[in-house]
Amino acid sequence: MKINQIDLYQLNYKLIDDKYSWSRGNFVETFLTNIVKVSTDEGISGYGEVCTLGSAYLPAFAKGVPSGINEIGPNLIGKDPTQIKQINIEMDSILLGHNFIKSPIDVACWDILGNVTNKPISCLLGGTTIKEFPLYRAIPQRKPEEMKIDIEKYQKMGYTKFQLKVGGNPDEDIKRIKSVADIIRTGDILVADSNTGWTTSGAIRVANACADVDFYIEQPCLTLNECLTVREHTNLPMVLDEIIFGVNELLDAYNKRAMDVVNIKISKVGGLTKAKQIRDLCESLGILMTLEDSWGGDITTAAIAHLVGSTKNDFYFSSTDFNSYNNLSIAEDAPKRINGNLKVPTKPGLGITIDENVLGKPVLTIK
């Protein structure tokens, strides 16, 4: 089996709700997503997706994906997509870094391997250990009373995990956290996600002011050393996200006892292959994990579900269903939220059927 064509499609997702706001005054209302289709000479194809959270969240530029795919793609023509490690070696040898560009190709190759072997990706990633899992809901940054109303709304939909977007003015963030504390039920999980938005002094102020609230602090500051300073001043459990790009960063943070939970985003680390490597290491080290991506639609949600589905339940912390935030579906059989939970697809590969009529014409084709 050989790759004989790579197509790249671009679509715009619009949020179903209001704008999505987070730290430092950042917000988005629409998302440019890049969808890759990898085709083979045996008529089997696979899909992958990368959707960045704007250009100011991570070093990932959605409009640059076509240039990156055009750099990598010609060298993959004629290669066996089921030899996924070799595909990753080839991509890394051509383009240094730029994990988000390589991610959709890697996921598409896993989709092909699943279709060739007639097995869901979760089975290929180590075996399906979780069939259905609880989701978190991200609560965009806004006025404290509005964020409280949002949580109450999503509680009625079955969600039990909530990620407050903070990282703004510490005084306002203290109000945001305290305003929702009294509606968090026993068994619910509350995360205050700063997305690197606080200074160390601001983060310490928030942690101390809210010390009587049961919550997790996520990525309070921009660097590991800053996060360690905050950790020294609070007993609240900490999640690290934006600074974990691979095994080296994970081990550095682990050896410095910097976190209790790590957030593994598929496109941030370069695809399912590297996400699995980090996931397996976390299981060995005893680190809880949020398994997700920066953003996406049906393809991204399915890929996340397979990664969660092949994870030891004891180390699963949270995940989310990005396709429920957007106005556009490209696969009617993609996993959908039911009472705050998501089921892992059981069909081969990603387990979803892409409607190419929705994709339209490719913006790039490599043969």
Task: Count Cβ atoms below 10 Å from residue 246 Cβ, excluding itself.
Answer: 14
Exposure string (b/e) for 333-363, b if CB count within 10 Å is 16 or more?
ebbebeebebebbeebbbbbebebeebeebe
Report the alpha-carbon distance of residue 130 to residue 120 in Å, rounded.
Answer: 13
Cβ-contact 294, 269 below 8 angstroms = no
DSSP 178: H
DSSP string, 238-279: EEE-TT--SHHHHHHHHHTT--SEEEEEHHHHTSHHHHHHHH
DSSP string, 195-228: TT-S-HHHHHHHHHHTTTS--EEE--SSSHHHHH
Q: Is 165 a catalytic residue?
A: yes
CA dihedral 303, 304, 310, 312 (to 10 degrees): 170
From the list 102, 148, 161, 165, the catalytic residue is 165
Report the alpha-carbon distance of residue 106 to residue 129 in Å, rounded.
Answer: 22
Angle at 124 between CA 123 and CA 129, to 5 degrees: 30
* Amino acid identity, position 68: G
Cβ-contact 321, 336 below 8 angstroms = yes
Report the alpha-carbon distance of residue 141 to residue 175 in Å, rounded.
Answer: 12
Q: Is 63 a catalytic residue?
A: no
Report the alpha-carbon distance of residue 270 to residue 85 in Å, rounded.
Answer: 12
From the list 102, 148, 161, 265, the catalytic residue is 265
Q: Which residues are tagged catalytic?
A: 165, 265
